[in-house]
Chain A
Amino acid sequence: MQHRGWFETGFAFGILALALGTAAAEDELRVVIKDHQFSPSEVKVKANTKLKLIISNEDATAEEFESFSLNREKVVRAGQSITIFLPPLKPGSYDFFGDFHPDTAKGKVIAE
């Protein structure tokens, strides 16, 4: 009986994860890193809407996407891409930068 309990709990969590993952359709936005710069460097998004930010790195070196105001930090390896999920944002400007090249790799998400 106890095994079954565990199994059911796991199953419930699986369903929950699936439900959360697919709960609402997100807006999808793409940003490219090239020559240690983000393009576009200003990403305009709808406020109060879930977002999916896809960041691809076309440089030959790794970069780290980092934003304190968005509370995200993620390495993008050379020639690869990553997906960042963002919650519905309040209207405003959110800075991000490349932690490996903070002087050149700068950008912001503008929610309006």
Chain B
Amino acid sequence: MLGTFIITWRETIEAALIVGILLTYLKKIGQSKQFRFVYWGAFWAVLASLAFAGISEFLSAFLRDIGQDIFEAAILFLATAVLTHMVVWMHHNAREIKGELQQQAELAISKNRLWALATLAFVGVFREGIETVLFLWGLFLQGGRFESVAPPVMGGLLGVGLGVLMTWLFFKGFGHLDLRPFFRVSGMILIFMSAGMLSSGIGKLVAAGLVPPLIEPIWNTSRLLSERSFIGSLVAGIFGYRSSPSLIQVIFYLLYFPITLIWLRRQSHDLAQ
């Protein structure tokens, strides 16, 4: 029961973090009435995960060899693109905040932005959703083999519940920050998440044999911090930490920061003129 609990809890936290940032952000800019866009994205992602797990047999030819890697890489690159778009937009918004100690602002948000938000909620949940659904479904199927399937399934569902609750509590507190620090911290989290997703996307292409790893692994820090530990799994989820990455992943991870920062700076210049 504990094992299944930890697995779904970990998957849920990563997805809930993105949804949490989006909701808190909307609240901060006085757009609480637009929550439904984020909920829509998350809701459709859950449905899509169920559907995707359900039709997996029909997709077997596609998913067999490297199809799965390419599909996951595509989702990760899409997530990177939407996250980066969000970061640029948030940076732009942060500049419009006048007072230092402001808790909330009234900022306009366009329909296109709202769809970008919905897409981000979708991608964030869908990415973790497929795995969680396959895992929970597997637990149900094992019912015939073991005495009772109830404890592991309960554990799995509790994991999802606790993941959501913990993230909710976190944002309860985080949401009380003043606008400036809130923008700064959430922007940083999103930039790191985005770099991590870009680098895992490249990792998928390496696993598929489509991109050369250059050197793999470039280091091994599994003894210092294992992804299986509590802290390790959080650091992996938020910052994209890997204990034995390939060189090409590290290169893309590191290149992401200067490129995004230059883009942000150029945006500020454009706005100033």
Which residues of A are interface residues toward B (Cβ below 8 A)? 17, 20-21, 60-64, 68-72, 74-75, 77-78, 80-85, 87, 99-100, 102-103
Q: Contact check, A61 vs B216: say whether CB atoms are below 8 A apart.
A: no
Contact B212 A69 (CB under 8 A): no
Q: How far is the CA of A90 from the CA of B109 in the complex (A)?
A: 53
Contact of B207 among A63, A84, A103 (CB under 8 A): A84
B237 CB contacts on chain A under 8 angstroms? none
* Segment of B25-33, B38-46, B63-71, B262-270 in the binding face: B63-71
Interchain CA distance A62-B64 in the complex, whole Å: 13
**Contact indicator per residue, chain B 243-263, by CB within 8 Å of chain A (1) or not (0):** 111100000000000000000
Asked whether A100 lies within 8 Å of B135 as measured between CB atoms, the reply is yes
If A69-B220, A77-B60, A82-B65 touch, whether A100 touches B207 (CB-CB below 8 Å) is no
Whether the pair B211, A99 counts as a contact (CB closer than 8 A) is no
Q: In chain A, what residue has the closest Cβ to B133?
A: A62
Q: Is B222 an interface residue (CB 8 A)?
A: yes
What is the CA–CA distance of A103 and B4 in the complex, to the nearest angstrom? Answer: 11
Q: In the assembled complex, which residues on chain B have CB atoms less than 8 Å from the CB atom of A100?
A: 7, 134-135, 138
CB neighbours of A74 from chain B (8 A): 68-69, 207
Q: Could you tell me if B63 and A80 are in contact, using CB atoms closer than 8 angstroms? A: yes
CB of B210 within 8 Å of the partner chain: yes
Asked whether, in the complex, the Cβ of B64 is within 8 Å of the Cβ of A81, the reply is: yes
CB nearest to A67 among chain B residues:
B244
Beta-carbon contact of B134 and A75 below 8 Å: yes
| Total A-B Cβ pairs within 8 A | 82
Interface size class of B (residues with CB under 8 A): 35 or more
A20 touches B209 (CB 8 A): yes
Minimum C-beta distance from A71 to chain B (A): 5
B137 contacts the other chain (Cβ, under 8 Å)? Answer: yes
- CB closest chain-A residue, reference B226: A68
Contact (Cβ within 8 A) B64 A80: yes
Q: Is the CB of B243 within 8 A of A68?
A: yes
B83 to chain A, nearest CB (A): 20
B63:A20 contact, CB within 8 angstroms? no
**Cβ-based interface call for B181 (8 A):** no
- The answer to whether B135 and A77 have CB atoms under 8 Å apart is no
| Distance to closest chain B CB from A103 (angstroms) | 6
The answer on a CB contact under 8 Å between A20 and B210 is yes
Q: Which residue of A lies closest to B217 (CB)?
A: A71
CA distance A87 to B134 in the complex (A): 29
> How far does the alpha carbon of A102 sit from the alpha carbon of B7 in the complex, in Å?
10
A72 touches B207 (CB 8 A): yes
